[in-house]
């Protein structure tokens, strides 16, 4: 391999950082100081740190390790493979570079454990097409590697392990023979250098700079002790105690913000938006089905909120097809009967138009005036006699004395409002409602469907009005309890945990892509029985980078496969009017099969559709697949969802098997949570939840409950945080742009 390369230095000051000491860092360092003020960090490293979001001293101290390695004593090299990654140390006794396929390269480094014996097996570390690795590793070096050992032929190998070269210099005690931190890093910033920077900073900063930000009833010790121990623990017990302290502090800050939101919402001035309930009773009696007990319970909860003078802030969770729309209509009827307008926001054009059609079909017989406002369509029905301003206000006054809003007592209500005859009672729209010059003269209720598809700012823009409207946000993506009390802790939560009796059963089956002919035969039997079906693809067009089928490319094939039955193609790039026509033809039964992307994921309702085939099912998340299959079984027929995949990985099989076992959305959500974690489940940008620096919402659920209880106790006793011992918490609830948790109110 020639002359041994220096593994860490690259000419920009990294050697100086990792090696001999220079002049000390500036004294009296403050947490708010920019890292540029620390003259010891070279500019290239500052740029790399900035890529990690690290710009101040506090940012650096709270850049917590993602794991720790026990480098006090390493295990012997394994003889068998393992699914659990392990940390090993050995000397490089051989390196090789092999080329294959013209341009592909495999770099191998063979390691031998330091005190090898006759039974010791070497470990082969392999990197594919990572050219920089061969410049960093040479024979004679000592490496610490972290990865999963796998049996490849007769050799034990680690493919693409994390690695670090151990240099015998005066700083070896920072990196070796200890419990060693391993950090999230970036290109141009090695573990060794990042570790050295943090180690030196911890030795220079005053402990007085690190104020404890949680009550003594919740945490023990000081923040300074916890920060030191999380980076460079003396023992595993010290590491665990430090982590608990820091997680509780992080969760407490989150829960203080949420508790303050609840308090602010309860003190905001609102109006009573609850009519007498006469119209609601007529609507319920006219329904062709009976409400479930869960729907009745939730409507009663919403009714109490509408009758109160502080604004409603309620989250309605319900599985796909559980009947959330009917509950939303009940809420809107109560609001418009009190003389107020209601806004119904949906995340997509298709869903907004479907809601518009559904609401017109159900409510126009009662005289409701409904308008559609989306970027592509603006429609409204004409004013209807039941809702002329004078007549409607008079009917409200007549019914006010015998209010049904509260079963216990009649609640004094504001003077019923009047809406001009040309004003709609209900405006249905996408986020275009926020931007397309839609004005509300008397907005009393906002219903947000599939709220996780709306951004925080979009929700806030519609709901930050004075006087405050009541807000009902709905989701068909069930959310595990820990997440509910975290992200939606400032909301009251209602759950529809009961399915209507008339829903058809959905059978889900996972099939290998090689069984397509058998699947096709089954799908044709569904069409021959007079039913309709969906075929879902993850992409619109084929991709050179992904070996995934695409809807537009496969559409012609499906026309041949299902001939003489009629197929239609639907995806997000089709112009809105054409998209609407395609869906209408499918609803009317003029098309038998819809070849589509996930544009049909939410809300599309065709009771005669009884079969769904999802191609490349491994490309979808569990919650998304559950949403997709909710498009079938909308009528009383038994329905079938077939998940087609050619991915034989164990993880894929385990994921898809969940959908075969259960149709309960809450069970699916818990499994999705296990497999993917909360960030992927919700999307931080949409939920407004910042990436947690150290807490894990699932693993640390008990700590979250403790933090929540502590925050609520403080706010109940001192809602203004005016007591001397609570004044330090005021800074926790100062919301900074981009750091809010759940801005719905």
pTM as predicted: 0.69
Mean pLDDT of 634-644: 89
Every domain of the chain and the residues it spans? 67-182, 278-496, 506-682
Q: Is residue 124 scored above 90 in pLDDT?
A: yes
The domain 506-682 having CATH identifier 3.40.50.170: the answer here is no
Cis, bond preceding 139 (omega within 30 deg of 0): no
Tokens, residue 647: 């991915």
Name 225's bridge partners: none
H/E stretch holding 617? none
Tell the CATH topology of 278-496. Rossmann fold (3.40.50)
Give pLDDT, residue 613. 95
DSSP 433-502: HHHS----SSEEEEEESSGGGS-HHHHHHHH--SSBPEEEEEESS---HHHHHHHTTTSEEEEE----TT
Tell the CATH topology of 67-182. OB fold (Dihydrolipoamide Acetyltransferase, E2P) (2.40.50)
684-697 pLDDT tens trace: 444 444 567 898 88
C-alpha distances (whole Å) from 113 to each of 73, 76, 173, 594, 735 are 12, 7, 20, 60, 53
Give pLDDT, residue 593. 95
* CA distance between the termini of the chain: 64
Average pLDDT, the chain: 80
By C-alpha distance, which of 232, 186, 221, 187 is closest to 61?
232
Kindly indicate the confidence band of residue 384, based on its pLDDT and cuts at 50, 70 and 90: very low
Cis, bond preceding 467 (omega within 30 deg of 0): yes
Q: How far apart are CA 542 and CA 550, in angstroms?
A: 5
719-744 pLDDT tens trace: 888 899 888 888 887 654 334 433 33
By the 8 A CB rule, do 572 and 599 touch? yes
Q: Is residue 140 scored above 50 in pLDDT?
A: yes
The reply to whether 67-182 and 506-682 are identical in fold is no
Q: How far apart are CA 161 and CA 145, in angstroms?
A: 6
By the 8 A CB rule, do 503 and 633 touch? yes
Q: Is residue 504 scored above 90 in pLDDT?
A: no
């Amino acid at each position: 391999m020639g002359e041994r390369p220096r593994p860490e230095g690259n000419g920009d000051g990294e050697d100086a950082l990792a090696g001999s000491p220079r002049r000390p860092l500036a004294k009296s360092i403050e947490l708010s100081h920019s890292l540029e003020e620390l003259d010891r960090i070279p500019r290239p490293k500052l740029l790399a740190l900035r890529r990690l979001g690290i710009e101040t001293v506090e940012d650096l101290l709270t850049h917590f390790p993602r794991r720790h390695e026990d480098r006090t004593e390493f295990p012997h090299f394994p003889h068998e493979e393992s699914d659990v990654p392990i940390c090993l140390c050995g000397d490089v006794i051989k390196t090789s570079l092999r080329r294959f396929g013209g341009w592909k390269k495999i770099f191998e480094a063979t390691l031998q454990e330091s005190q090898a014996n006759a039974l010791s097996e070497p470990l082969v570390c392999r990197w594919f097409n990572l050219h920089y690795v061969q410049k960093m590793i040479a024979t004679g070096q000592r490496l610490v590697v972290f990865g999963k050992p796998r049996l490849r032929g007769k050799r034990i190998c680690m493919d693409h392990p994390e690695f670090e070269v151990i240099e015998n210099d005066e700083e070896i005690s920072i990196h070796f023979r200890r419990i060693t931190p391993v950090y999230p890093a970036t290109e141009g910033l090695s573990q060794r250098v990042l570790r050295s920077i943090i180690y030196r900073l911890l030795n220079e900063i005053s402990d007085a700079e690190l104020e404890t930000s949680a009550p003594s009833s919740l945490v023990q010790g000081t923040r300074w002790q916890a920060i030191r121990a999380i980076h460079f623990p003396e023992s595993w017990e010290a590491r665990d105690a430090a982590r608990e302290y820091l997680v509780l502090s992080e969760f407490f800050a989150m829960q203080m913000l949420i508790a303050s939101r609840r308090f602010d919402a309860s003190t905001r001035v609102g109006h009573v938006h609850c009519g007498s309930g006469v119209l609601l009773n007529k609507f319920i009696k006219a329904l062709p089905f009976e409400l479930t007990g869960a729907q009745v319970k939730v409507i009663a909860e919403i009714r109490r909120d509408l009758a109160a003078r502080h604004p409603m802030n309620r989250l309605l969770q319900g599985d796909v097809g559980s009947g959330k729309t009917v509950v939303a209509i009940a809420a809107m009827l109560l609001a418009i009967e009190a003389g107020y307008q209601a806004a119904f926001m949906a995340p997509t054009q298709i869903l907004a138009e479907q809601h518009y059609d559904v609401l017109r079909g159900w409510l126009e017989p009662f005289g409701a005036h409904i308008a559609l406002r989306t970027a592509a369509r603006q429609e409204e029905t004409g004013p209807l006699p039941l809702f002329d301003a004078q007549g409607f206000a008079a009917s409200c006054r007549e019914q006010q004395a015998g209010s049904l809003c509260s079963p216990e007592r009649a609640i004094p209500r504001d003077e019923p409002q009047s809406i001009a005859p040309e004003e709609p009672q209900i405006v249905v729209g996408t986020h275009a409602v926020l931007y397309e010059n839609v004005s509300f003269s008397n907005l009393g209720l906002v219903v947000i469907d599939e709220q996780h598809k709306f951004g925080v700012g979009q929700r806030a823009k519609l709901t930050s009005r004075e006087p405050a409207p009541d807000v009902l946000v709905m989701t068909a993506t069930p959310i595990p309890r820990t997440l509910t009390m975290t992200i939606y802790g400032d909301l009251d939560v209602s759950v529809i945990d009961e399915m209507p009796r008339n829903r058809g059963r959905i059978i889900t089956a996972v099939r290998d892509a090689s069984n397509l002919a058998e699947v096709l035969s089954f799908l044709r039997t569904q069409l021959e029985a007079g039913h309709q079906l969906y075929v879902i693809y993850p992409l619109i067009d084929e991709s050179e980078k992904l070996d995934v089928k695409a809807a537009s490319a496969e559409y012609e094939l499906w026309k041949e496969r299902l001939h003489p039955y009629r197929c239609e193609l639907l995806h997000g790039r089709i112009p809105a009017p054409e998209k609407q026509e395609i869906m209408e033809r499918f609803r009317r039964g003029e098309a038998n099969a819809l070849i589509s992307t996930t544009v049909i994921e939410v809300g599309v309702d065709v009771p005669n559709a009884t079969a769904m085939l999802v191609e490349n099912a491994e490309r979808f998340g569990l919650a998304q697949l559950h949403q997709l299959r909710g498009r079938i079984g909308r009528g009383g027929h038994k329905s079938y969802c077939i998940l087609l995949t050619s991915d034989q990985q164990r993880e894929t099989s385990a994921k898809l098997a969940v959908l075969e076992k259960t149709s309960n959305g809450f069970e699916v959500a818990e499994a999705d949570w296990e497999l993917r974690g909360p960030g992927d489940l919700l999307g931080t940008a949409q939920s407004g939840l910042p990436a947690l620096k150290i807490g894990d919402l699932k693993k640390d659920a008990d700590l979250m409950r403790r933090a929540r209880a502590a925050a609520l106790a403080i706010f109940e006793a001192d809602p203004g945080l005016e007591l001397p011992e609570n004044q330090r918490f005021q800074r926790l609830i100062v919301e900074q742009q981009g750091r809010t948790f759940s801005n719905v109110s």
